Amino acid sequence: MPALWSFLDKFESHVCRILLAVFVTLLFVQIVARQVFGFSITWIEELSVILFVWFAYFGASYAARIAAHNRVSFHLNALPRTQARMVEAVGDLFWVVFNVVFIWEAIQFIGRLKPFVKAQTLGWEMRYVYMALPIAFILMTLRILQVNYLKLVLGIDPRDPDRVEVEDMMELSQDEQRAFERGTR
């Protein structure tokens, strides 16, 4: 069971990796077909665009999961951590409300699409292509709530990935410096 929870916790990451690999591979095939063989595979461009859009929306959900969305944090850094968490939670509440309205509107839009509205070269009904909108925004909303639960209830702050990377590099640099100093003595 822990493996299942671990997988679900990184679901968007797995989906993004697959989507990225597929659309980059398709674009590579398209470039080779054009440059080497002199012809174009028309459906590859359309499928690549669709996969890229799905990638972007699932990436936004993943960014919400790891608390990596852009936000002005200068004022939050000046506050005590408990107050900063509350200010972030209020901002996230507005974000959740926006997401719920967006999900509702996306579902309404998809419901109004006629079956004959199809992707030009693939022939897929566009309602399936547009399903990325409600799915990704539902996942994003769940991730926002998950991060706020971690922060407000459990007292765990997800670390900013950029800050983690910088701190890791600084730690590695300090370790290298100490090793160098030991080696020169």
Q: How confident is the model at residue 1 (pLDDT cuts 50, 70, 90)?
A: low
**Listed residue (56, 64, 73, 127) closest to 98, CA to CA:** 64
Per-residue pLDDT, 12: 87
Output the pTM of the full model: 0.75
In whole angstroms, give the CA distance from residue 148 to residue 146. Answer: 5
pLDDT of residue 168 exceeding 70: no
- Domain positions in the chain are 2-160
Per-residue pLDDT, 155: 75
Q: How far is CA 148 from CA 83, 132, 142, 145, in A?
A: 13, 24, 10, 5
pLDDT of residue 39 exceeding 80: yes
Lowest mean pLDDT, pick from 37-41, 67-71, 156-160:
156-160
Q: How confident is the model at residue 132 (pLDDT cuts 50, 70, 90)?
A: very high
Alpha helices, DSSP H only, in the chain?
2-9, 11-35, 42-65, 74-78, 81-112, 126-129, 132-148, 161-184
Check residues 125 and 154 and name the one with the higher pLDDT: 125
